[in-house]
Amino acid sequence: MTKTNEYWIWKSEKEKNTCEKCKSLDGKIFYSEDEIPEKPHPNCKCEVVKVVSEEKYEKCDCKELLNKTQNAVENIIAETKTYLGTIQEINTDCEINKESLRDLLNKAYVIKDEYENELAKHLKTCANNKDEEYKEITQKIIDFEKLKKENETNSAKIYELNKNFQNFDKETRVHLVDIQQLKEYSADTPHKKDECKILEDVLDLQTKTKLVNSQFQDYKKQAEMANLKNKNIQNAINSGNSYIKVLNNIPKIKCKCSNFLLNLKIDSFYSTGANTIGKKPVISGDCLQNALNWLEPAKKNKDAKVLNSIDDIKNKNLKNALDKIKMPKYTRGIVYNSNSKQSKNLLKTKEVQKFLSENMKALKENKKFEIQDLEFNPFKDWDAYLALQKCKMYNPHITKDGYFEAMIYDYYDFEHREPDPNAKGVIDKIFNPLATKVNNWGHRMQERKLLENYFVIYHIREKI
């Protein structure tokens, strides 16, 4: 900053005939001879007096600060406009990604279904076995679902960032107007710092500009991170499409293993049980057919609905209940409505009717039961025992129009077990080995991926 100890003062004669121009210049100080204007008219009696001060003073730089501040804010506004355009592009890409991921997942589920059908044709030891490919496509579906959520999250961030950036742009333009107005108000001539009337306001605007720039840098960083995330998602989608093409080119080969399921004669287990107990296996037979045929029977059942994962369950509390029993998230499932024969048969079981009779008073008093454990007896409820054995009942209650209503749910899964050595009686000795044999057969089939694990939900409803 330039320092000096001399300046010039314009002095006008204050007479009646003194012109307005001379009057306006009276008392003005100039810190350089170059700044002194020419006399406004001939015979001008004004004079410019040079003053040499013993103490030095500092020339004020408010005008220079205002110009720099204005330039800084104008640059921020220009960059903001560029980033708003970038954000719009990313938002468009997110929508394109959404469609691409939906298409990719549909293709993946189709291939998964194809491999499920293919797996049913080959033993684990068969050279044409497709277990590894099936595991891989199943994992890829999980990855694609995660990618879909990542894109949804990124899209939401971009939407919010776009809104924030637009508000920021409006506020920054108001700030620019404040700077421009102060420039118009400021004095045209140089002056001392200690005589400046606007310096404090200039410094306040300069401080605010630094905060505006800091906020801009933060928004800029968010936009760049969202753009990077978007590119990563696009790369993953391209990679996924390439992977799907590779899987589609893997040949599906028929061999002698295709007769494997027929040779097991599992239906004979059920017919033996039916003859012994005297009941047709509606619930357990349906469960087995769905597991063997990759839920195709349920897809054809007008009273059933197939879900691709527990995320498709609309009831959040029921969904949380399935989470608590550690239900695999991307397992498929079946929901039976109250008109289905499966739900009606389940409602008639001794175990459910026992719960009703023991808790009818509490149910009518609107007592909340939340989740109840059910365990079916093989001699009283043979069909439900083979299908579910132990399961859960969610939110049993009586509706305002007098219906008993609840959801019974389970995970169709088998664990190896040994026959009960303490089985007594003729029926017990026949049934126990039979049930154990069916269970262990299911366990081996699921190990080979020839029998699908899935969740099942039964909606039961009965007029009280």
The mean pLDDT of 353-378, rounded to a whole number, is: 91
Sheet of 333-336: strands edge to edge? Answer: 304-307, 333-336, 454-463, 403-412, 390-398, 371-375
Structure tokens at 138: 């199943």
Distance from C-alpha of 312 to C-alpha of 228, rounded to nearest angstrom:
30
Choice between 248 and 261, residue whose per-residue pLDDT is larger:
248
> What gap in Å lies between CA 47 and CA 318, rounded to an integer?
95
Q: What is the DSSP letter of 59?
A: B
What pTM does this model have?
0.48
Rounded CA-CA distance 454/54 in Å is 96
Domain extents for the chain?
A: 3-59, 63-248, 265-463
What pLDDT digit, counting tens, does each position of 141-175 carry? 999 999 999 999 999 999 999 999 999 999 999 99
For the domain bounded by 63-248, which CATH number is listed? 1.20.1260.80
Pairing relationship of beta strands 371-375 and 333-336 according to DSSP bridges: unpaired
Statement: residue 458 has pLDDT above 80: yes
How far apart CA 107 and CA 141 sit, in angstroms, is: 10
- 190, 192, 194, 199: CA torsion to nearest 10: 30
Q: Could you report the per-residue pLDDT of 194-228, keeping only the tens digit for each? A: 788 888 999 999 999 999 999 999 999 999 999 99
Residues of the chain with pLDDT > 90, as a percent, come to 46
Is the pLDDT assigned to residue 104 strictly greater than 50? yes
Max mean pLDDT range (75-84, 126-135, 286-295)? 75-84
Q: Which two tokens stand for residue 398?
A: 């009586």
Question: How do 47-58 and 3-11 pair as beta strands?
Answer: antiparallel
In contact, 374 and 408? CB cutoff 8 Å: yes
- Is the Cβ–Cβ distance between 463 and 402 less than 8 Å? yes
